Amino acid sequence: MNLTKIKRPAGTYLFELDLEREDEHGFWVSGRPGQACVWPDGHRDPLHHPMILLITPGRPWVGWWLLRDDGRRLSLDICTPPQRTADGWSIVDLELDPLWTERDGQVQIEDEDEYRNAVREGWMTSADANLARAAADEGATILRVGTEPWIQAGWDLLIERFPS
């Protein structure tokens, strides 16, 4: 299955992923090192780190659980609610990304500069800008509290799918 990520104005990124399962939290997909990310210009880059994604219809973010050399990371990629496509899912990136890192245990919202630029340049509507801000603030709070059951479910699936 594919995740199509539209990043304005850069273009469309395509992540080639594997569907793991569907449950009450949404659709769980995985990406393994070597699977492709296709850039807007058509070149293919391999994924470098194992990852699990949670795609939930109607929710304005996609969760990304990553195993990186510097530790685990959980990012909520703020976007328009995912739309089903013939080969997977499509989202429009709304730039802001609440991120938790194992290295320091902190939560921060990344890409504020990209968000401000997208608003200033008119690459997102005011409705999308408001959605992005509200979803990012809520997402950061969710990550700080850390008690949503899907958070642990993502870590469990990452370890199950990519044992050390």
Pairing of the two strands 88-92 and 2-7: parallel
pLDDT of residue 126: 96
* Count of domains for the chain: 1
How many Å apart are CA 68 and CA 105, to the nearest integer? 15
∠ CA 82-34-162, rounded to 5°:
80
- For residue 86, the domain's CATH number is 2.40.380.10
How far, CA to CA in Å, does 47 sit from each of 23, 35, 63, 90, 135? 25, 5, 16, 19, 27
| Total count of residues recorded for the chain | 164
Averaged pLDDT, 89-118: 97
Percent with pLDDT over 70 in the chain = 100
Give yes or no for a contact between 15 and 3, defined as CB atoms under 8 angstroms apart.
yes
The answer for residues whose C-beta is within 8 angstroms of residue 21's C-beta and 6 or more apart is 27, 28
Instruction: Tell me the pTM.
Output: 0.95
Average pLDDT over the chain, rounded to an integer: 96
Domain housing 56: 2-161
Q: How sure is the predictor about 59, in pLDDT bands with cuts at 50, 70 and 90?
A: very high
Averaged pLDDT, 145-152: 97
Averaged pLDDT, 18-36: 96
Model confidence at 54: pLDDT above 90: yes
What tens digit of pLDDT does each residue of 29-40 get? 999 999 999 999
pLDDT of residue 164: 74
Reading phi first (left if > 0) and then psi (alpha if -120 to 50, else beta), residue 111 is in: left
Averaged pLDDT, 11-23: 97
∠ CA 140-8-119, rounded to 5°:
65
Model confidence at 86: pLDDT above 90: yes
Model confidence at 56: pLDDT above 80: yes
